[in-house]
Amino acid sequence: MRILQIVPSISLVYGGPSQMVLGLAPALAQAGVKVTVITTNSNGDNGQKPLDVPLNFPIQQDGYEIIYFRCFPFRRYKFSLDLCKWLNRHVSTYDLAHIHALFSPVSSLSAMICRQQKIPYILRPLGTLDPADLHKKRQLKQIYAAILERHNLAGAAAIHFTSNQEAKISARFGVSTKDLVIPLGVNQVDEGKNRGTESSIRQQLNIPDKIPLVLFMSRIDPKKGLDLLIPALEKLVANELKFHFVLAGSNPQDPNYEAKIRLQIQNSTLRSHTTITGFITGESKTALLQAADIFVLPSYYENFGIAVAEAMVAGIPVVISDQVHICQQVRDSQSGWVGRTNINNLIELLTQALQNPQERQIRGIRAKEYALQYYSWKAIARQIIAAYTEFIPLS
């Protein structure tokens, strides 16, 4: 089985949903699938330098190959003429293409090329069919959909949604393509390798061991509900609950909003109860996840919530809104607390979590058990391979 994974960019700037390809590809390769990933060297839309990677030839890594193409022209829209030319020449040598993104020139033209050459393809919209997301640049997206994406959706073998809720609410533009609901995966934490890092990260951040650590680790973006979280935490300070808040994340795409949030906290009663780390990755990220007592994400919409799944696999109980689309799984597995996008409700849930350390521990254990069973890349790869097999024509 030869599978092509197509994604406009895998830069960290664009967040976890794009990066998931780097988790999926090796998991598929370990299961015996021959995988090629094609992408661009795009690394942001606000003057950032492109990714420093070799271009136009396969790089072998983790059992699969990845080819980067120069993002040119229309850098802002992650377009690559070289990628499209390569795809037009080589796509016929693959059994199926898995295209990650909609409303992006790379993904749109890739779907067109696959359709012209009669190669089955699966589209993963990355939340772009969510009504809240479609509302942004609404008129432009309606035109784009009418010209390109409606035909691409109609010609797809399936639309890959990462939760039932995402599938339920997504716009279809009158198309009745098959739904494929498979969640994203997360990497398991190597607890032995990182043993002892929880205490060291607390020492680095000057957080006493007995003070609950409340962690927000996601992109600093208006949709993430920080306008709910910050006043909720301020109320907890006024109510004299003991905790330390860690805000981990950044937003190179919208530095003004990030600066606004930093300033808001600096001028708040939260200032002495908060550490802002900026974007973190690698061992520091793992250590912070292992040190946290509560993970919080009160997003207004989230087609999956990869950060939530990462927290769960680390054994952290989560406090999330019912607009994070794995909320039902969190409820069913009793892995945390789910509420509304409402400040008072968020205060209530955080108070419950902070005042009940034993319940936090129980829910954290449940979270880890559930995530390891359902969100491991090995499990996800099995489901996706079964879907690929269904859509590849018999020769």
Strand 336-339 to 121-124 pairing: unpaired
Q: Which CATH number fits domain 197-374: 3.40.50.2000, 3.40.47.10, 3.40.605.10, 2.60.40.10?
A: 3.40.50.2000
pLDDT at residue number 338: 98
Confidence of residue 384 (pLDDT cuts 50, 70, 90): very high
Residue pair 347/233 in contact (Cβ under 8 Å)? The answer is: no
| 187 DSSP β-pair partners | none
How many C-beta neighbours within 10 Å does residue 209 have? 10
Cis peptide before 54 (omega within 30 of 0): no
- The side-by-side arrangement of strands in the sheet containing 294-297 is 274-278, 244-248, 213-217, 294-297, 318-321, 336-339
For residue 187, is pLDDT > 90? no
Amino acid symbol at 345? N
pLDDT at residue number 197: 57
- pLDDT tens digits along 23-51: 999 999 999 999 999 999 998 777 788 89
- pLDDT tens digits along 75-121: 667 889 999 999 999 999 999 999 999 999 999 999 999 999 999 99
- pLDDT tens digits along 9-22: 998 877 776 778 99
Mind giving me the DSSP string for 165-181? HHHHH---TT--PPEEE
Question: Can you tell me which residue has the tokens 């949030």?
Answer: 261
The per-residue pLDDT of the chain, averaged, comes to 92
CA 49 to chain CA mean position, Å: 23
Q: Which CATH number fits domain 2-185+376-391: 1.10.510.10, 3.40.47.10, 3.40.1010.20, 3.40.50.2000?
A: 3.40.50.2000
Confidence of residue 200 (pLDDT cuts 50, 70, 90): confident
Tell me how far CA of residue 261 lies from CA of 230, 247, 296, 349, in angstroms. 9, 10, 16, 22
Phi first, then psi: give them for residue 59, nearest 5 degrees. Answer: -110, 125
Burial (0-12, 13-18, 19+ Cβ within 10 Å), 240: exposed
Residue pair 337/319 in contact (Cβ under 8 Å)? The answer is: yes
- pLDDT tens digits along 112-134: 999 999 999 999 999 889 888 88
First to last CA, the chain: 12
Domain boundaries, the chain: 2-185+376-391, 197-374
For residue 192, is pLDDT > 60? no
For residue 275, is pLDDT > 80? yes
Give mean pLDDT, residues 173-191: 86
For residue 316, is pLDDT > 70? yes
pLDDT at residue number 250: 93
| Percent of all residues in the chain with a pLDDT value above 90, rounded to a whole number | 75
Angle between helix 343-355 and helix 357-374 axes, rounded to 10 deg:
100
**What's 298-367 look like in SS3?**
CCCCECCCHHHHHHHHCCCCEEEECCECCHHHHHHHCCEEEECCCHHHHHHHHHHHHHCHHHHHHHHHHH
pLDDT at residue number 142: 87
HSE-CB of 284 using CA atoms within 13 angstroms: 12
pLDDT at residue number 92: 97
- pLDDT tens digits along 134-160: 888 888 888 898 888 999 999 999 999
Give mean pLDDT, residues 268-273: 95
> What one-character DSSP code corresponds to residue 48?
P
Give mean pLDDT, residues 222-242: 97
pLDDT at residue number 395: 64
